[in-house]
Amino acid sequence: MSRIKEFNLPDLGEGLTEGEILSWLVKVGDTIELNQPIVEVETAKAAVEIPAKWAGVVTRIFAEAGTTVEVGAPIVAIDTDPSAGALPEPSADSLAAVEVAPAEGAVEPGMIGGPAPGGRTAVLVGYGPKTTSAKRRPRMGTPAGSPTATTPAPSPTAPVSAPPAASAPPTAPVSAPPAVSAPPTASVSAPPAVSAPPTAGRALAKPPVRKLARDLGVDLGTLTGTGPLGSVTRDDVQRAAARTEAVVVAPPTAAPAAFDAAREQRIPVKGVRKLTAENMVASAFSAPHVTEFLTVDVTRTMKALERLKGRPEFRDLRISPLLLVAKAVLLAIKRHPMINSTWLGATNEIVVKDYVNLGIAAATERGLIVPNVKDAGRLTLRELAEALNALVQTAKSGRTPPSDMAAGTFSITNVGVFGVDTGTPILPPGESAILAFGAIRPTPWVHKDKIKVRQVTTLALSFDHRIVDGELGSKFLRDVGAFLADPEGALLAWT
């Protein structure tokens, strides 16, 4: 059994078919342990760290950061028995003969996929560095004695000095004479017989780095590489591009404004953003949405929140109005369980859930995600506060696992943190309602027959009109508002 094992990209859950390599946590030559995180991968659900399946030494990384890899494709090779000594050198017969790649796609000598002795390409782990210059195969149809890539043929229009008559039969074809046979003043077009090595004067860089340089308009020949063997790295290219962008050249005053790709930015739609877009389109055009609004005086909620912060049970926790909004939703769902259900068109059923997996919409660098607190209705207020804090922190770090975003039953989107009064949210797939919680603002309000400045917010409830009719939606929204208007009274009356 081979000691070199290839680790394939696993299925990270719910039928995902591919993932993008965000970053490698190890490099070739590193010794790793079983279950040690080795790579960070972004799927359509979230960014996750994948642990090693075996302990050993990393011998090869198949996919660079930024590459999208299909599930089941190899991403890393691991020597599972490094104590057994050095890996055997592969024989020449075990390598497939290939034509040397052209200059544009060249790879560093000695690297996997790079040029190897005899014009072959190193395809096995442990293959050593290049020791001789590679030669191109003759082009199809070229006579065996014709000049090769290492001995360029003279131009057909260039004057060539003929050899002495006695040195060749009269009918033999005349080849270009050696460079030393030409007189000092002879005019010939053939280059010197001895050419520079293929890599002379040319920066070493991997194909992804060369592509990055082309995309950014960076000349690799002007860079000094900081990588192995003086190779140019991605960081080298990006630093050079940044220096170029720092030089601002004013356009000619007479030139008309251009509206083209030079003034546009293209963002690939992938990962979380792609899945969110697909889900929102599917939801918007499958569930008939209705949205209702309610403006509420939440002055008492804000006072109750301040009292909670002063209690010993909550002093070590960061709590916000969202905690009491979540509690209001959970208690209102107990009073109106139909709001916490799913429409199953395939079987013509409505599935009413006796549990609440409470989703909280979170904006992250990779797009909007809606992780949920499992069985939130069974949690105490302290436990709910802890769960909400953990959910938000995990989402901001980009480490939310796919399981935390599955099986949601009701969601809250807190648009108030952005200073927005309210919105008309779209339902997450499979849910029948979602509540938008707007900004809390000091507002003139009629309180006890007098106009006073009170803390006021606007709630918006979007629901699936196939399940939730206007009466049910209105009663649910009314109860959420009643709790926020007097949380302590509602707790005493409803629990």
Q: Where are the beta strands (DSSP E) in 320-409?
A: 341-344, 349-352, 358-360, 362-364, 367-369, 372-373
Domains of the chain (ranges; CATH) run: 4-85 (2.40.50.100), 101-118+203-245 (4.10.320.10), 288-494 (3.30.559.10)
Produce one character per residue of 479-495: b if its CB has 16 or more CB atoms within 10 Å, e if not.
bbbbbbbbbeebeeeee
User: Which residues, 6 or more positions from 428, have their beta carbon under 8 angstroms from its beta carbon?
Assistant: 279, 283, 359, 370, 408, 411, 434
CB distance 94 to 19 below 8 Å = no
DSSP state, 250?
P
- Which residues, in sequence order, are bridge partners of residue 452? 445
* pLDDT per residue as tens digits for the range 147-178: 444 444 444 444 444 444 444 444 444 444 44
Crossing angle (nearest 10°) for helices 470-485 and 321-335: 140
How confident is residue 15, by pLDDT bands cut at 50, 70 and 90? low
CB distance 336 to 475 below 8 Å = yes
Q: Is 336 a catalytic residue?
A: no
- The pTM is what? 0.56
Residue 97 reports pLDDT greater than 90: no
Query: Which segment of 273-277, 342-346, 370-374, 482-486 scores lowest on mean pLDDT?
Result: 273-277
| pLDDT of the residue at 259 | 84
| Of residues 332, 338, 356, 329, the one with CA closest to residue 437 | 329
Kindly state the average pLDDT of the residues 471-486.
97
| pLDDT of the residue at 237 | 86
CB distance 150 to 135 below 8 Å = yes
- Average pLDDT of the residues of the chain: 78
| Of residues 310, 323, 312, the one with CA closest to residue 379 | 323
How confident is residue 190, by pLDDT bands cut at 50, 70 and 90? very low
Residue 24 reports pLDDT greater than 70: yes
Dihedral of alpha carbons 267, 268, 273, 279, sign: positive
* pLDDT per residue as tens digits for the range 223-238: 888 888 788 888 888 8
How big is the CA angle at 157 (ends 152 and 159), to the nearest 5 degrees? 85
Out of 289, 336, 447, 465, the active site residue is: 465
How confident is residue 94, by pLDDT bands cut at 50, 70 and 90? very low
| 450's tokens | 């007098």
DSSP state, 232?
B
Rounded CA-CA distance 77/94 in Å is 19
| 235's tokens | 């960081």
